[in-house]
Chains A and B, each alone.
Chain A
Amino acid sequence: MRSGIQGFQSLRLQQLRASLAMTQAELADLIQCAKGNISKWEQGRSSPEISSFQKICKVFGVSETWLLEAPIASRETQPSFFRAQNQTPKASREVARTRLDWAEEISYKLQESLEFPVVNVPEHKGDFKALTDYEIENLATECRQLWKLGQSPVDNLINAMESNGIVVTRGSLGFAKMDGVSRWSQADARPYTFLCMDKANGFRTRFDSAHELGHIVLHKAVTDVDYQKHYHLLEKQAHRFASAILLPAASFSRDVHYPTLETFLILKPKWKASAAAMIRRCQDLEIIGEDTALRLWKARSARGWVQREPLDETLVPEEPKLLERSVKMLVENKILAKNTLRQVLGMPASIIEELCNLPKGYFEQDNTGNVIELRLRSSAQQRSNSQHSSGGQVIPLARK
């Protein structure tokens, strides 16, 4: 029989612990309880007593009501597509997935008051296993046409994604080998993407965005079972789509008169793609044969470009704007006070600031004067009377 706080949400505790990549034993130490209790609380077999419950709130800096509110996350029903290099720790996936859950929740709550851009994304409806390279190229072209991008280099891909209804967020996880994750939400039928910023490389992040866009366009109908079973195929398809959307066959191939590393370096600022991405694209388009490709890969390696290419530092990573603009629209137009908004969103302030691309400490500055408080999601109404836990030591949740 369950005892303790009624309505305690076990997934909330899982998310909080995962977002810090913390073990159950470490959390048990922090709130001074048995490790077995954490396991039971996370599995929903029991709930914490009031004293432990309050300690959890203090340790993570979250409101009591947030821990009692059912999470809005489609992780159970929709597959999350990870872009990660080999040997990525399992914990990094859980941290990234939790960030995506929270981004989905923030966005869902903000949409109670705000209208976001309409979702305008082409979708592949057939069997992904039968997708050919030709079809992927066509879908990338269709996406460019739909978004009025023409055949030229895309100036800001994240902005193009957000302008067409995709919610993009980013943050540092402390895992350099994790690149990003995306998912279609069941709550608002909108695609979500989280990009990891640990590498701080604008070219890399841009390709990551294009890769996640590939999953959104190509793999809406893919199930979790399919994802586990056909992971490599799905990754390959998303990769091909990313190349095609960033470097369109017709216009990019006109630029590659001489496939040398020098040429790719010259083209790098124009197309905002790495030399590696351009070599791969030349192979895909059969502009170069296997021998030339092999020579280019070897030359690239000999020059030490595998770790870092020249000009990598010249492109500032693109920034998502939609959530930032949404929060500021509510706060600066005095529709909602910062404190109330922070309470409604519920999760640790540092996480909200990071996911919404707000300056650090944004929620610490008060602006409660002359605010007309309008409605957010109905569940938020119950929350507005609650008191946010204060005092105690709060763990900063920015990274491990």
Chain B
Amino acid sequence: MRDYNGVLLPTLLRAYNRAKNARYNIGICEQLALQLDAKPTSEKTKNFEKLNLIVVAQAPSPEQQQDRPVHIQILVPHESNKGYHLRIGIDELLAGFATAQPSVEAEDQAWPKLRKQMRQAESDESNEQND
């Protein structure tokens, strides 16, 4: 279920993420870089080495400009090639690294004020001096 902006609602998004993560018997790319050079020690790491990354660049139609692809997709297929660990567009991938929401600087209200009677005393004194 999505809200009116087409964005997954938070609780559903979390459930979706959890389901997505559970599907991967290795965390997406987690420790992949570290373990590529290591000798396989278990079936799990053997499977690791069979991972393939496919980059699909969709070419524009002949009548369109040919200087850039219409769309780029990143795919990590299951070993059986019957499904995908990961199948997303490059824009979506990059969005995961974006800092879309800048931090909010709340108004700085951490200032003391002189007490009213003191402000009054100061004001009276100043008036007296002026007179």
Given contacts A153-B101, A287-B17, contact A258 B114 (CB under 8 A): no
Q: State whether A147 touches B106 (Cβ < 8 A).
A: yes
| Chain B residue, CB-CB nearest to A285 | B14
Which residue of the partner chain, among A116, A250, A254, A262, contacts B112 with CB atoms under 8 Å?
A: A116
Q: Which residues of B contact A (CB under 8 A)?
A: 7, 10, 13-15, 17-18, 21-22, 27-31, 34, 92-93, 95-97, 99, 101-116, 118, 121, 125
User: In angstroms, how far is the closest chain B Cβ from the Cβ of A120?
Assistant: 9
Contact A148 B96, beta carbon cutoff 8 Å: no
Chain B residues within 8 Å of A299, by CB: 30-31, 34
- How far apart are the CA atoms of A262 and B97 in the complex, in Å? 10
Q: Which residues of chain A come closer than 8 Å to B104, judged between CB atoms?
A: 149-150, 152-155
Q: Is B109 touching A253 in the complex (CB atoms < 8 A)?
A: no
- CA–CA, A97 and B16, complex, Å: 46
Neighbouring A residues of B7 by C-beta, 8 Å: 254
Give the nearest-CB partner of A333 in chain B. B114
Could you list some 20 contacts between A and B, CB below 8 A? A113-B118, A147-B106, A154-B103, A160-B106, A162-B109, A163-B109, A253-B10, A257-B96, A258-B28, A258-B29, A259-B21, A259-B30, A261-B30, A272-B103, A286-B14, A291-B22, A292-B22, A296-B30, A299-B30, A299-B34
Q: How far is the CB of B43 from chain A (nearest CB, A)?
A: 15
B27 x A250 contact (CB < 8 A)? no
- Enumerate chain A residues within 8 angstroms of B116, measured Cβ to Cβ: 115
Contact flag A163-B21 (CB < 8 Å), given A153-B104, A251-B101, A253-B10: no
CA separation between A299 and B13, bound complex, in Å? 25
- Select which of B15, B28, B97, B110 is within 8 A of A117 by beta carbon: B110
Of the candidates B27, B93, B101, which one forms a contact with A152 in the assembled complex, judged by CB atoms under 8 Å apart? Answer: B101
Cα of A289 to Cα of B15 in the assembled complex, Å: 10
A116 to B108, CA, bound (A): 13
Check A163–B108 contact: CB distance below 8 A: yes
Contact between A113 and B115, CB atoms less than 8 A apart: yes
| Of A32-40, A70-78, A174-182, A322-330, the one with at least 4 CB within 8 A of chain B | A322-330
Give A residues with C-beta under 8 Å from B: 110, 112-117, 147-156, 159-160, 162-164, 249-251, 253-263, 266, 270, 272, 285-289, 291-292, 295-296, 299, 302, 321-322, 325-326, 329, 335, 372, 374
Cα-based distance from A254 to B99 in the complex (angstroms): 11
Contact A287 B115 (CB under 8 A): no
B114 → A minimal CB distance (Å): 6
- A253 pairs with B17, CB closer than 8 A: yes
- Known contacts A113-B118, A117-B110; is A156 also within 8 Å of B28 by CB? no
Distance from B54 Cβ to chain A, minimum over Cβ atoms (Å): 17
Further 12 A-B residue pairs, CB within 8 A, beyond A249-B10, A329-B112: A113-B114, A113-B115, A152-B102, A152-B104, A155-B105, A249-B14, A255-B96, A259-B21, A287-B17, A289-B21, A291-B22, A325-B111
Structural contact, B107 and A322, CB atoms closer than 8 A: no
A162 to chain B minimum Cβ distance, whole angstroms, is: 4
Distance in Å from the Cβ of B70 to the closest Cβ of chain A? 23
Distance between Cα atoms of A292 and B30 in the complex (Å): 9
Residue of B nearest to A323 (CB): B112
B21 engages A153 (CB within 8 Å) = no
Asked whether A260 and B29 contact (CB < 8 A) given A114-B112, A329-B114, the answer is yes
Name the residue on A nearest B116 (C-beta): A115
Does the CB pair A151–B27 fall under 8 Å?
no
Bound together, the chains give a CA A151 to CA B101 distance in angstroms of 9
B13 surroundings in chain A (CB, below 8 A): 253-254
CB distance from A49 to the nearest CB of B (A): 41
Q: How far is the CA of A285 from the CA of B103 in the complex (A)?
A: 21
Chain A residues with CB below 8 A from B101, complex form: 151-153, 251, 270
A127 to B4, CA, bound (A): 38
| A254 CB contacts on chain B under 8 angstroms | 7, 10, 13
Chain B residues, Cβ within 8 Å of A155 = 103-106
CA A287 to CA B28, docked complex, whole Å: 14
Q: Which of B29, B92, B109, B113 has the most CB of A within 10 A?
A: B109
Q: How far apart are the CA atoms of A34 and B108 in the complex, in Å?
A: 52
Q: Is the CB of B112 within 8 A of A287?
A: no
For A150, the closest partner residue in chain B by CB is: B104
Chain B residues positioned under 8 Å from A326 (CB to CB): 112
Q: Which B residues touch A112, using CB under 8 A?
A: 115
B-side contacts of A156, CB under 8 Å: 105-106
A61 to B111: give the CA distance in the assembly, Å. Answer: 30
Whether B110 pairs with A258 at a CB distance below 8 angstroms is no
Query: Would A154 and B111 be within 8 Å (CB), given that A113-B118, A289-B18, A374-B121 are in contact?
Result: no
A148 partner residues in chain B, CB cutoff 8 A:
106-107
| B110 contacts A321, C-beta separation under 8 Å | yes
User: Are B30 and A295 in contact (CB-based, < 8 A)?
Assistant: yes
Which of B17, B96, B113 is most buried by chain A, counting CB atoms within 10 A of its CB? B17
